[in-house]
Amino acid sequence: MTTKNTLNGKTIDETTWKAMWKAGRLEADALPAKSRAAYKAYKDAYKVAQDACDAFEKVATEELAIHAKVDTAKYKFLFGYNFGKLAVVIVDAVQAVTTGNGSLTQWATFQTRPNVK
């Protein structure tokens, strides 16, 4: 007995269905209406949160640089958020551009840091 796989009212062939689930990918447009709306609300909220995070990091960098007497042309503040705990490290601005896979702490351990007073 063959079952029909449908998504958002459209029949999907067995090969495509298995490939979608095996790959763990779904197209948002293919979701049922309520799921699609909830996903859109999530994405919108995520964008607002990301914008707030960017604004926070900009202001915090400016204030911390003044307080710690750090030259932001030479050094960069990197912020980490791990389970609601805020972390910040100061690293060489040139070396701050990376695609490292470690934690903020692991990455910062290998960086040159200024003498903060």
Residue type, 111: Q
Is pLDDT larger for residue 2 or for residue 90? 90
CB contact at 8 A, 78 and 96: yes
> pLDDT tens digits for 52-87?
999 999 999 999 999 989 998 889 898 988 888 999
Q: Which residues contact 74 (CB under 8 A, 6 or more apart)?
A: 92, 93, 114
Rounded to two decimals, what is the model's pTM? 0.60
Does the pLDDT value for residue 99 go beyond 50? Answer: no
